[in-house]
Amino acid sequence: KADVYLNELQKYAQDIYSSCVASMQDTKADLDFIRIDKDAFKQCRSESIDYAVMEQTQDAVVVPLDANWNDVGSWSALWDIQNKDDQGNVIQGDVITVKSQNNYVFSESRLVSLLGVDNLVVIETKDAILVADKSKVQDIKKIVETIKEQGRTEHFCHREVYRPWGKYDSIDHAERYQVKRITVKPGQKLSIQMHHHRSEHWIVVNGTAKIHKGKESFLLTENQSTYIPLGEIHALENPGKVPLELIEVQSGSYLGEDDIVRFEDLYGRC
């Protein structure tokens, strides 16, 4: 039971237990999610349940199990368990292979082509591309460590980001501008907000948008647009029955996600 585990955790890893308790003192509800205190939880040391509790407790037993277990803990494990083509390749997405065998290839957003290669893992996403020997994929953590050491953001900041109301995809950006494709689920609404450093242009490409801008509210449909000046209080919602898709063009001196002042939010965010 959960209470038994927590008692054992407190007994054998008091610091982890204390960090977890502290992180639950200030939580926020976000639809089906409970958002814990990020700063408090970051104080918790990294340790597996196995080492911290299960190898210490006296209230556990171990029994043998013959079930052809595979915990699918790596890309090569995914290759092991999935159906393969005539050349032993596992392919997902837009992929072309020529004279290539025993590869695992995943393409999320574009064409990936393999020519004359064997035993590779090739993963293409909107954020980055991984090419690795299938026998070396367990060392992927070394790449993550290098990303952190170099001060890069790929391990935590992604191009496509999901929110309670839907998602956005940052399709292009450079100094002083950013372009996003925003999808709002039917019946959902973004927070009433404003920005200190950017203005925004919204162009509807699918569905119907209800725009709140200053003291006015109005509807926009496909191929219609509006402009949100810097400092203007605004909100966006989808009053329809189908997903709302629009293109947002941001321009300004600072385009970070933390340049949002929220006045009202359905999801309890501040």
Total number of domains in the chain: 3
Would you say residue 63 lies in a domain?
no
Would you say residue 65 lies in a domain?
no
134-187 pLDDT tens trace:
999 989 999 999 999 999 988 888 999 999 899 999 999 999 999 999 999 999
Check whether residue 41 and residue 103 sit in a common domain. no
69-81 pLDDT tens trace:
777 888 888 999 9
22-35 pLDDT tens trace:
999 988 876 677 88
Check whether residue 50 and residue 84 sit in a common domain. no
Q: Which residue has the tokens 């995914």?
A: 78
Would you say residue 238 lies in a domain?
yes
Radius of gyration of the chain (CA): 24
Region 197-226: mean pLDDT is 97
Would you say residue 46 lies in a domain?
yes
**Structural domain of 221:** 160-264
Distance between CA atoms of 135 and 79, rounded to whole angstroms?
11
39-74 pLDDT tens trace:
999 999 999 999 999 999 999 988 998 887 777 888
E strand or H helix that includes residue 124:
strand 120-124
- Predicted local distance difference test score (pLDDT) of residue 142: 94
- Predicted local distance difference test score (pLDDT) of residue 270: 63
Would you say residue 61 lies in a domain?
no
Distance between CA atoms of 128 and 109, rounded to whole angstroms?
11
